[in-house]
Amino acid sequence: MENAVAISQYELERGKPMPSLNHGSVQTNLVIELAPFRKKYRIATELSLDLDDWESVPDICIYPFIPLDTKNDVVTMMKPPLCAVEIISPSQSLTTLVAKANAYFKHGVQSCWLVLLGLDNIYVYTDPDNYDIFKANETLHDTKLDISFPLTEVFK
């Protein structure tokens, strides 16, 4: 007998796992910590990407600053972000998340953050084989983007 895993309508429509209270709260906290960098970068959540026919919806994308044109919206970005942030969901495996990080690099992303709830760590990848681990009581440093902020409020 095969094990069947029910996939929610959300997951079918978005092509990504269902978020949770912890996931959404940490995502919001990260965006708040990134706010001081919004004059240098365009920070967007849940942005659809189509990178050379590979589709993804990172939890957070960081682009060079792009002025908003509210009269002409962009539904799907065809250009890779400088950084993609992925927060592990309850139904997601670490193996899946690492494979996604590798795919981001293959498609031109320069930095990828993997946020591991439960461990309260953020892995900041500078390429598929190199990363630094930042714990909840430390200060995150992304040397590629020159972003640095304390993680003390992110996992609260």
Q: Is residue 131 part of a domain?
A: yes
Neighbours of 141 (CB within 10 A): 14
| Domain encompassing residue 134 | 23-150
- Residue 136 has a pLDDT of 96
Neighbours of 107 (CB within 10 A): 17
Q: 62 near 43, Cβ under 8 Å? A: yes
Q: Is residue 141 part of a domain?
A: yes
Q: Is residue 100 part of a domain?
A: yes
Q: Is residue 9 part of a domain?
A: no
Point out the residues of the chain with pLDDT beneath 50: 1-8, 10, 12
Name the token pair of 115: 């946020």
- Residue 8 has a pLDDT of 47
Q: 34 near 62, Cβ under 8 Å? A: yes
Q: pLDDT (tens digit, 9 = 90+) per residue, 58-76? A: 999 999 999 999 999 999 9
Q: 49 near 57, Cβ under 8 Å? A: yes
Q: Is residue 107 part of a domain?
A: yes
- Please state, in angstroms and rounded to a whole number, the distance separating the CA atoms of residues 65 and 74: 15
User: 33 by DSSP, 3-state: which?
Assistant: helix
Residue 133 is given by DSSP the state E
Q: 34 near 24, Cβ under 8 Å? A: no
What is the maximum span of the chain, computed from C-alpha positions, in angstroms?
A: 55
Residue 103 is given by DSSP the state H
Q: Work out how many domains the chain is built from and give that number.
A: 1
Q: Is residue 11 part of a domain?
A: no
Q: Is residue 10 part of a domain?
A: no
Residue 135: CATH number of its domain: 3.90.1570.10
Q: Is residue 79 part of a domain?
A: yes
In this structure, the strands spanning 130-135 and 121-127 are antiparallel
